Structure 1
Amino acid sequence: MKPSLIADLSLLFVTLIWGTTFVLVQNAIDFLPPFAFNGIRFSLAALLLFLCLLFFDFKQLKQLNLKLLGSGVFIGLWLFLGYVTQTLGLLYTTTSKAGFITGLSVVLVPLFSMFLLKQYPSKNAVFGVIAATIGLFLLTLADVSGLNIGDGFVFICAISFGMHIIITGKVSNKYPTLLLTVIQISTVALLSTFSSFFFEDWRKSVRIEVLLSKDVLAALIVTSVFATAMAFFIQTNFQKYTSTTRVALIFAMEPVFAALTGFFLAHERLSISALLGCILILLGMIFAELPAGKLALFRKSESLES
């Protein structure tokens, strides 16, 4: 199996984890403020990754230098900024609009790649981006109300997550994966914790009855281990084997997995437009996986048949 295909499947698994844990996070932040939740979540993940580093690959610590530290912190800053602006945006805008605007990173990443990395997406990838963007609109945009300040914050979130993908792809092949992931996650943990102290009622985050409540405890364990430590380690390790545009298209599947989880576990209804949106996002990802020229041949065969 090609390394690029293994990488894409691994990143799709990461997206599945993020999509299926969305409901857990929503339930948890009803009891714990968002910054406090992320502070604890990323701190636990950083601790777990650091223990793995100590026990399984201690030699990576010998490669620690200012360039590696700076790269890890820089990636972590973009990731933190994405979480911050998404949280602020949700205070002023709807979840559906936030979902669509966040998903616009699928468009922003190819643009950033062209201007910052001089990497140009294939025609298949461009077609996939268009299909996925239309799919995101149909899946997430339940209302078409006017723009507000919350939409602006969420758009910054989309830029931040797009830059996180770009920078990860640029530096992940230069440094040890586990050490780079530890620094990145630790950066988000520290910044989230400080934000909680300054902007939230941080006392809630140290109340034992809140931390040990079923919803919060389950969300913290699952998200810190699987949706943070494992997920970002996989992304950092495998993104070097695929293109940034493919990564963005794969990550566009997150709302699809979230919608399917809500349908099967929370018995939420999926409208016809939402179902069509899921299909278009899936097709967009598949188009990007097709070898160059395959999509053109497919169109040609269709025209001959007609």
Structure 2
Amino acid sequence: MPDSPRLARVATLLLLFVTAVWGSTFFLIRDLVVSVPPADFLAVRFAIAALVMGAVFRRQTLALSRRDVRLGVGLGVLYGLAQVLQTVGLQHTDASVSGFVTGTYVVLTPVLGALLLRDRVDGVTWVAVLLTTAGLAVLSLRGLAVGYGEGVTLASAVLYAGHIIVLGRWSTPRAAVGLATVQAAVIAVVAAVAAVPGGLTLPSGGGQWASVLYMALVAGAAALWAQTWAQAHLTATRAAIVMAMEPVFAAFFAVLLGGESATARLLLGGGLVVASMYLVELRGMLSRRRLRGATAAEDPPVEALHHDV
């Protein structure tokens, strides 16, 4: 955690920028995977990101300890599997819906923290879980069945939540650059393994390659570094709340640039999901205020101490 509030603010703003960049990729990926299989696209995307990061951050990567390398490999496997599932899901659902379903990692993060790390989950968080479930039902249910795309995307959200928890608990600012580089390389390997059965299909045409390069360098290399650094200065739950804006950005770009419609179903379901995310944030704000109030009550002013002497 940071020693000063200023670092926390910088980390929050940086993570918000990353979230906006991620949100801009949903409709690009959906268009791209029409002709390029998801695993193939991810293998190319993160191979480019890993090569660039390895060249730029070679010294920092070689300086990693064995513990940091093992952590980077584990994080890369989690993130790589999540990316594969999310991209497969995008073949079967709208980019805006995918963004909202992916965004459930905001609520899943504290829940998984309670299950895996025995963090306490209060009543407000459980209310947020119910709101999220209701929002997902509106977005995803087709009669009494959940759409395949939404189900696969929800599985990716669980993995993203695990990635956030591990990154927030064990990453350090010193190792952030090297960790991000190791993660990019491992993600490329995970995607390449998934692509092996059908052979590797490369993007074709300037438009597809421009999209891949944007997602490799900006939404891949730069975003991985920024997220890893920012989460070394923020708690896992706080980071997840900041990233609650991802589905909002995803829907915004999908409607503005991706040709999707702002339907009543999208607005209602997405609104419930976003409401659940910010309910968790409100709970955190109130908890911090109560903590500051309790600390102030326990520590009397210096003037009062002097008066008693």
Same-fold status (TM-score > 0.5): yes
Larger Rg: 2
* Equivalent residue letter for 2:108: L
The answer for the alignment partner of 1:303 in structure 2 is none
Counterpart of 1:29 (choices 21, 25, 33) is 33
Code of the aligned partner of 1:23: F
SS in 2 for 1:222: helix
How does the TM-score come out when normalised to structure 2?
0.77
CA RMSD of aligned residues (A): 3.2
Name which of structure 1's ranges 143-152 and 28-37 shifts more when overlaid on structure 2.
Answer: 143-152
Q: TM-score, normalised by structure 1?
A: 0.78
Q: Which amino acid aligns with 2:42?
A: N
Residue equivalent to 2:296:
none
Is the 8 Å Cα contact of residues 23 and 250 (structure 2) preserved in structure 1? yes
Write the deviation string for residues 42-91 of structure 1: whole angstroms up to 9, x where unpaired: 0111112122214xxx2x24532321111100000101111233345567
The answer as to 2:230 corresponding to 1:259 is no
Please point out which of 169, 172, 197 is paired with 1:199: 197
Per the alignment, residue 4 of structure 1 pairs with 8
Identity score, percent = 30
User: Equivalent residue for 1:85?
Assistant: 85
Contact 2:39/2:194 (CA < 8 Å) preserved in 1? yes
Structure 1: gaps (5+ residues): 297-306
| Counterparts in 2 of 1:131 and 1:16: CA distance versus 1, 3 Å | farther
Q: Which residue of 2 aligns with 1:163?
A: 162
Asked if 2 retains the 8 angstrom alpha-carbon contact of 1:109 and 1:166, the reply is: yes
| Structure 1 equivalent of residue 303 of structure 2 | none
SS at match of 1:193: helix
Q: Counterpart of 2:241?
A: 249
Match of 1:14 in 2: 18
2:44 pairs with one of 34, 40, 43 = 40
176-185 or 96-105: which moved more? 96-105
- The residue identity in structure 1 corresponding to 2:198 is E
Q: Cα 1:193–1:63, aligned 2, differ >3 Å: closer, same or farther?
A: same
Tell which deviates more after alignment, 105-114 or 229-238: 105-114
Rate the CA distance shift 1:251–1:191 in 2: closer, same or farther, 3 A.
same
- Other-structure match for 2:112: 112
Q: 1:121 to 1:227 in 2, by over 3 A?
A: farther
Residue 100 of structure 1 contacts residue 141 of structure 1 at CA under 8 Å; is this kept in 2?
no
